[in-house]
């Protein structure tokens, strides 16, 4: 009775069954090929991802920004025990170094007191001169956002830091980043809760600077080492060891006058600068709310010459 | 109930190689105290992946290499695919040769890691150089990082040995031992 009730398969059922079998066979074949050539398949996928990233596809950027957000959350939790261990070692080291440091500071303090007197005198003179010239003071006041460093790629390839402030706190690409001592770098990528900072030591970093007191303009170029170099100096530069390096504000990338570092070597290998930023204690940074000037439109043309009316002939003296 | 719990525990233990590799990624990413950007630190990720690729190739497959590489790139800000490609290229050296390598004396195994790391660093260096428009990246920091990682690598075995025992009996993809 039951056998009679069983429906005999229709041609549609058989076709569906055949398709299912075929799909299963293809899937098994694909799995076998992927397993056998797993490394090659992975390498091809990586190459595709690299090309997509190079083409700056929005999806890749989105994934990287979200990954940065996730890493910031996780590393924030991991950071505390690591920092505690580090502080312990730091304390031991500090006790050893404190006596030597104290003597050095005493000597430095004496020198600084002399400099302070000189600085006050120059400041008073400067203000008086500015009043006479009616010049605005630089740098301009800017909104500052404090952020904590939560990740470090830890490789010889990329000198970047991940901080726990993102677009939700008003961080945007291009903003300069400083610590207590000087310029650290600039924001190169922003997620919702995190941002990536390109340190000025990275070989991809280029910062327009000016050397004081000579006033020579140059580009501070990172070299992945501790002392970035100055490039594109004037033909006869007047740079000496100990000169201060500040942002020049050229190109509108950075505000002018941010302290960058000090010249530590001038020689055959070029001019080397030691940044003021304290890399060993880069726990917190300040992001300055500076909007880099937008680049000019690609089709921008120089303004056509304006016809200037010839000046009226000056009346002859005595006429 | 007990059977289900045992199965779950076994499944969790089998994830340990991947979990420890991801922990190594975190260690590589964590901002270490007193760490100047130009300071060199051993890379934990290649050490851990090399360890598991030899000891548990059944649990640490090329897909694991790819995932670890992608996570490191995505969180570390490197071009997505760089570390994945480098790890896979290095994995190709040991893939299928696990038993031969494990039968070698420790010094030769160390040499194998030095080669593994050389391929890893070489591929990363080349890809990052290509990424920046055929610009040669400085070799000094790279060599320092390489030497320090190779010199620290023998410590990784004893560190991961308890995990290895916890994961369970050594079972190679090529057959159990």
- Report chain B's mean pLDDT, rounded to a whole number: 82
pLDDT in tens, B51-73: 999 988 888 888 899 999 988 88
**What percent of chain A stands above pLDDT 90?**
14
Average pLDDT over residues B4-10: 78
Contacts 24+ apart (CB under 8 A), B103-106: B106/B154
Average pLDDT over residues B117-137: 82
Residues of B in contact with A283 (CB under 8 A): 31
What band does A247 get if pLDDT is binned at 50, 70 and 90?
very high
Average pLDDT over residues A8-15: 84
Comparing CA positions, the residue from A201, A197, A261, A199 lying closest to residue A226 is: A201
pLDDT of A263 reads: 92
The answer to whether the CB of A149 falls within 8 A of the CB of B31 is: yes
**What percent of chain A stands above pLDDT 70?**
82
pLDDT of A175 reads: 92
- Residue A2, pLDDT > 60, answer no
What band does A296 get if pLDDT is binned at 50, 70 and 90?
low
Which among B77, B86, B94 is the top mutation candidate for probing chain A, defined by the most A β-carbons within 10 Å of its own β-carbon? B77
Residues of B in contact with A199 (CB under 8 A): 37
Q: Please name the residues between 147 and 176 in chain B that touch chain A, using a CB distance below 8 Å.
A: none
The answer to whether the CB of A286 falls within 8 A of the CB of A145 is: yes
- Residue A1, pLDDT > 80, answer no
Which among A155, A164, A181 is the top mutation candidate for probing chain B, defined by the most B β-carbons within 10 Å of its own β-carbon? A155
pLDDT of A315 reads: 43
Domain ranges of chain A: 77-134, 145-288
Option in B127, B135, B141 nearest A156 (CB): B141
Bridge partners of A244?
A212, A262
Which among B40, B63, B76, B128 is the top mutation candidate for probing chain A, defined by the most A β-carbons within 10 Å of its own β-carbon? B76
pLDDT in tens, B94-125: 888 888 888 889 899 999 999 999 999 999 88
pTM listed for this prediction = 0.62
Rounded to whole angstroms, the Cα distance separating A187 from A178 reads 11
pLDDT in tens, A224-237: 778 899 988 888 88
pLDDT of B2 reads: 62
Rounded to whole angstroms, the Cα distance separating A296 from A299 reads 8
Average pLDDT over residues B117-135: 84
- Residue A193, pLDDT > 70, answer yes
Residues of B in contact with A155 (CB under 8 A): 28, 43, 76, 78, 124, 145
**Quick check: B3 contacting A, CB < 8 Å?**
no
DSSP helix/strand/coil, A148: strand
| Chain B residue closest in CA terms to A90 | B34
Residues of B in contact with A67 (CB under 8 A): 71, 74-75
What band does B33 get if pLDDT is binned at 50, 70 and 90?
low
What contacts A119, CB < 8 A, 6 or more positions away?
Answer: none
- Residue B177, pLDDT > 50, answer no
pLDDT in tens, B147-167: 989 999 998 888 888 888 887
Domain ranges of chain B: 14-29+40-167
pLDDT in tens, A142-169: 788 888 888 776 566 678 888 888 888 8
Higher pLDDT, A204 or B21: B21
Average pLDDT over residues A160-183: 89
DSSP helix/strand/coil, A272: strand
> To the nearest whole angstrom, how far is the Cα of B2 from the nearest Cα of chain A?
33
Return the sign of the alpha-carbon dihedral for residues A205, A206, A208, A212.
positive
**Quick check: B81 contacting A, CB < 8 Å?**
yes
Average pLDDT over residues A103-128: 85
pLDDT of A318 reads: 37
Average pLDDT over residues A275-303: 76
- Residue A79, pLDDT > 50, answer yes
CATH code for the structural domain at A145-288: 2.40.10.340
Give the ranges where chain A is alpha helix by DSSP (H). 2-5, 11-36, 38-54, 58-133
- Residue B176, pLDDT > 50, answer no
């Amino acid at each position: 009775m039951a056998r009679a009730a069983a429906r005999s398969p229709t041609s549609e059922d058989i076709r569906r069954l055949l398709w299912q079998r075929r799909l299963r066979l293809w899937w098994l074949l694909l799995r076998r090929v992927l397993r056998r050539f797993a490394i090659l398949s992975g390498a091809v996928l990586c190459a595709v991802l690299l090309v997509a990233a190079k083409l700056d596809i929005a999806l890749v950027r989105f994934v990287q920004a979200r990954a940065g957000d996730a890493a910031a959350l996780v590393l924030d939790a991991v950071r505390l025990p690591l920092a505690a261990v580090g502080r312990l070692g730091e304390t031991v080291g500090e006790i050893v170094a404190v006596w030597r440091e104290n003597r050095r500071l005493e000597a430095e303090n004496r020198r600084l007191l002399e400099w302070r007197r000189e600085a006050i005198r120059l400041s008073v003179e400067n203000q008086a001169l500015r009043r006479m010239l009616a010049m605005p003071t630089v740098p301009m006041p800017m909104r500052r956002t404090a952020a904590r460093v939560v990740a470090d790629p830890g490789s010889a390839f990329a000198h970047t830091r991940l901080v726990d402030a993102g677009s939700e706190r008003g961080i945007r690409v291009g903003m300069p980043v400083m610590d207590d001592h000087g310029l650290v770098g600039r924001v190169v990528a922003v997620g919702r809760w995190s941002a990536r900072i390109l340190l000025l030591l990275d070989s991809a970093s280029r910062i327009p600077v000016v050397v004081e007191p000579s006033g020579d303009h140059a580009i501070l170029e990172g070299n992945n080492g501790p002392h970035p170099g100055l490039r594109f100096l004037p033909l006869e530069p007047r740079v000496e060891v100990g000169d201060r390096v500040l942002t020049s504000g050229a190109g509108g990338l950075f505000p002018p006058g941010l302290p960058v570092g000090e010249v530590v070597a001038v020689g055959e290998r070029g001019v080397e600068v030691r940044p003021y930023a304290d890399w060993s204690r880069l726990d917190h940074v300040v992001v300055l709310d500076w909007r880099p000037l937008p680049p000019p439109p690609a089709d921008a043309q120089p303004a056509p010459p304006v016809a200037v009316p010839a000046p009226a002939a000056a009346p002859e003296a005595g006429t | 109930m007990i059977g289900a719990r045992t199965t779950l525990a076994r499944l969790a233990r089998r994830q340990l190689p991947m979990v420890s590799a991801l922990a190594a990624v975190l260690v590589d990413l964590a901002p270490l105290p007193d760490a100047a950007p130009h300071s060199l630190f051993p890379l934990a990720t290649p050490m851990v992946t090399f360890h598991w690729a030899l000891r548990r190739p059944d649990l640490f497959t090329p897909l694991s290499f790819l995932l670890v590489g992608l996570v490191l790139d995505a969180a570390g800000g490197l071009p997505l695919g760089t570390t994945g490609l480098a790890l896979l290229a290095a994995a190709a050296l040991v893939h299928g040769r696990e038993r031969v390598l494990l039968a070698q004396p420790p010094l030769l195994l160390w040499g194998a890691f030095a080669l593994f790391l050389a391929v890893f660093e070489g591929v990363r260096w080349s890809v990052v150089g290509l990424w920046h428009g055929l610009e040669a990246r400085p070799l000094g920091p790279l060599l320092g990082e390489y030497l320090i990682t190779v010199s620290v690598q023998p410590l990784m075995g004893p560190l991961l040995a308890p995990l290895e025992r916890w994961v369970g009996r050594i079972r190679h993809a090529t057959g159990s031992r």
